[in-house]
Homo-oligomer: A and B are copies of this chain.
């Protein structure tokens, strides 16, 4: 094997492998969408929920907490009534946009081929 692959293959699944840590965070349904929306600037909870569309409050809370825990967003709560909480990407969070752009570029270039294979595969399976 090449040393490049060795770095992320290792001796099997390792929850502490750096690549795995990132994929575990970014692989879930909403994190990428939240980061994308926050790329436009700070936003409060309800605006974020409306903007992402389809996410439940519970899951958005969990997603934002995980992002804050990892230092990718900041959470700023103002003790006003009613409460107001602003979320904002950190520099670390913004630095993630490069890799995310690469993923997006690959997807947009190759998704047609993937879908084509998928359709062909499904046709063959149903015969």
The chain A residues found within 8 Å of chain B, CB to CB, are 1-2, 4-5, 7-9, 11-13, 18-24, 26-30, 32-33, 36-37, 39-40, 52-55, 68-72, 92, 95-96, 98-108, 110-111, 113-118, 121-122
Secondary structure dominating the interface of A: helix
Q: Is the CB of B95 within 8 A of A99?
A: no
A60 to chain B, nearest CB (A): 12
Determine the chain B residues whose CB is within 8 A of the CB of A2 once the complex forms.
Answer: 39-40
Given A39-B5, A110-B92, CB of A117 within 8 Å of CB of B69? yes
Q: In whole Å, how far is A3's beta carbon from the nearest beta carbon of chain B?
A: 12
Contact A12 B69 (CB under 8 A): no
